[in-house]
């Protein structure tokens, strides 16, 4: 009886330790997603955009935005005031079917976590769209954002770490000094007209 009791206590201790480690790792990770599994698309994709905006880049960008008198840049400066990082991976494929939903599963599995809440999900077989928006809520604030936009010939994953105002972020589209990609909007407009 005694050896069984001892073994049970040991097992419980080991399980507790593992749970503590997992919790620690989850806390340390925060809202940052591991996007390295998407790197293999770089060789397949027709066009790849990989943007990593970490603390260092944010620190460098802030003085430029602060000096600027452009109201849009001032708005961006407000939006990024508490952000810790923005990570974007965008792939454009020549033809559809060059990637599957299973390829995005490593990203989705990270979001299948109580810390993340799926706030929007759009599935369209006709358009070949699978859009998901996740947020990580810390108290009353959004502590992180993840967007997975899987389309026929495009795959985009956006991960924002840190508090962000989604309304202000939505307002930014097309208001930058650099030209915007209207491909998606045009196609949507055409689809609506049809």
Partner 1 sequence: MKDDYLWDRSGEPDAEVLRLERTLGRLRHRPRPLELPRSRPLPRWRLHPTLAAAAVLVLMLLGAGVWLALHRSADATTQRLIIVGPRPVSLVGLYRRAESFQPSVGDQGKQNADVRSDAERASRQRRRLEAGQAEIILARRARERREERMMRESEEAAEKLMLALRYASSKLNLVQRQIQVNKEHGPAS
- Smallest distance, partner 1 to C-beta of residue 12, A: 44
Instruction: For residues 83 and 70, give the distance between their C-alpha atoms in angstroms, rounded to a whole number.
Output: 20
144: closest CA among 152, 153, 135?
A: 135
CB atoms within 10 A of CB 75: 16
Judge whether 30 and 144 are in contact, CB under 8 Å: yes
149 vs 130: CA distance, rounded Å: 6
State the nearest-atom distance from the C-beta of 127 to partner 1, in Å.
7
Q: Which of 5, 178 has the CB closer to partner 1?
A: 178
Nearer to partner 1 by Cβ, of 8 and 64: the residue is: 64
Choose between 24 and 186: whose C-beta lies nearer to partner 1: 186
In the complex, least distance from residue 11 CB atom to partner 1, rounded to whole angstroms? 45
Q: Decide whether 8 or 55 has the Cβ nearer to partner 1.
A: 55
* Cα dist from 103 to 86, 89, 98, 112, 176, whole Å: 22, 14, 10, 16, 32
Question: By C-beta, is 12 or 78 nearer to partner 1?
Answer: 78
Binding residues (CB under 8 A) for partner 1: these are 49, 51, 53, 57-58, 60-61, 63-65, 73, 76, 79-80, 86-88, 90, 120, 122-127, 129, 131, 133, 145, 147, 149, 156, 158, 160, 166, 169-173, 176-178, 180-181, 184-185, 188, 192
We find the least distance from the C-beta atom of residue 65 to partner 1, in angstroms, to be 6
CB of 41 to partner 1, least distance (A): 16
- Contact yes or no for 31/144 (Cβ under 8 A): yes
Comparison of 33 and 80: residue with beta carbon closer to partner 1: 80
Tell the smallest beta-carbon distance from residue 135 to partner 1 (Å): 11
Helix axes 55-67, 71-79, angle to 10 degrees: 150
Q: Tokens 């929007």: give the residue.
A: 120
């Amino acid at each position: 009886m005694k050896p069984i009791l001892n073994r049970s206590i040991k097992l419980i201790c080991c399980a507790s330790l593992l749970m503590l480690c997992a919790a620690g790792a989850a806390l340390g990770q925060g809202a940052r997603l591991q996007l390295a599994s998407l790197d293999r698309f770089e060789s397949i994709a027709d066009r790849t955009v990989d943007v990593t905006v970490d603390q260092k880049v944010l620190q460098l960008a802030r003085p430029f935005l602060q000096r600027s008198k452009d109201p849009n840049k001032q708005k961006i400066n407000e939006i990024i005031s508490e952000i810790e990082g923005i990570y974007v991976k965008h792939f454009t494929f020549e033809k559809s079917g060059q990637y599957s939903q299973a390829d995005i599963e490593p990203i989705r599995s990270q979001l299948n976590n109580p810390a993340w809440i799926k706030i929007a999900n759009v599935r369209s077989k006709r358009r070949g769209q699978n859009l998901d928006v996740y947020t990580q809520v810390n108290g009353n604030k959004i502590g992180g954002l993840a967007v997975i936009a899987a389309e026929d010939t495009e795959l985009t994953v956006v991960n924002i770490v840190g508090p962000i105002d989604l309304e202000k972020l939505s307002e930014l589209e097309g208001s930058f000094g650099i030209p915007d990609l209207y491909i998606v909007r045009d196609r949507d407009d055409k689809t609506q007209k049809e």
